[in-house]
A and B are shown apart, each in its own frame.
Chain A
């Protein structure tokens, strides 16, 4: 049973470009969470999605960031017009069941030059 998969693992973008980060949850999981980790910091919750629905986006910046989890395919975190402050590790997690334990993917490390 494959774990949570994220790609790319490393992404370099110039200021002003768009970044697309993908997350495939564990098989059977229908809940997806995105977190951002800045250097030497803990993880900050960004958004929680179920299939075709955004459940909680209270941690998402108001501008330039969006997320989706379509009926088919991976969840996508999209960052438009990236700035240097967007450089971070972005982790996706998925969960299933009453306990709702979250399993984390390997992360995408975004560098904005």
Chain B
């Protein structure tokens, strides 16, 4: 059974600081997703990482994937209040492509304080 673990689960940080959220998964997969969820809202797709060594950046967020270590990171640079949300990583259980259900981590609840 595929397991996805995120840490930390809760993070309070100040504006302007840098921090990293970690996502570990238990079985081979070459597709990893990061989503953002605001309270009471749906999930917004942030990044899709498809191969080992993939790195993607959007604004103050950067995501990377190491399939050998089964680890993805979401790095926040110079955080601003608008980034306060819950961030989920999700992994596809099958390698080699194909649509399938995702396994989600429990989410990292991020609060950025002025």
Contacts and interface: CB of A to CB of B under 8 A. Distances in A.
Contact of B42 (A41, A99, A105): A105
Given A99-B50, A101-B33, A45 B45 contact: no
A17 interface: no
Given A41-B106, A42-B88, A43-B88, A107 B99 contact: no
A59 B2 CA distance: 13
A18 interface: no
A110 B90 CA distance: 23
Given A42-B107, A43-B88, A102 B42 contact: no
A69 interface: no
Given A42-B106, A43-B88, A100 B43 contact: no
Given A43-B88, A95-B99, A101 B42 contact: no
Interface string B1-41: 00010000000000000000000000000010101000001
Nearest to B106: A42
B89 to A, nearest CB: 9
B114 interface: no
A41 B103 CA distance: 12
B100 interface: yes
Nearest to B41: A106
Contacts of A59: 101
A98 B30 CA distance: 13
Interface in A1-48: 31, 33, 35, 41-48
Interface of B: 4, 31, 33, 35, 41-45, 48, 50, 88, 90, 92, 97-107
Given A35-B101, A101-B45, 19 more contacts: A33-B101, A41-B106, A42-B104, A42-B105, A42-B106, A43-B102, A43-B104, A45-B104, A47-B101, A48-B101, A55-B99, A56-B100, A95-B99, A99-B50, A100-B98, A101-B33, A101-B48, A103-B45, A104-B35
9 cross-chain pairs, A with B, having the tightest CB-CB distances, nearest first: A45-B101, A42-B104, A104-B43, A100-B99, A43-B104, A106-B42, A42-B106, A31-B99, A104-B42
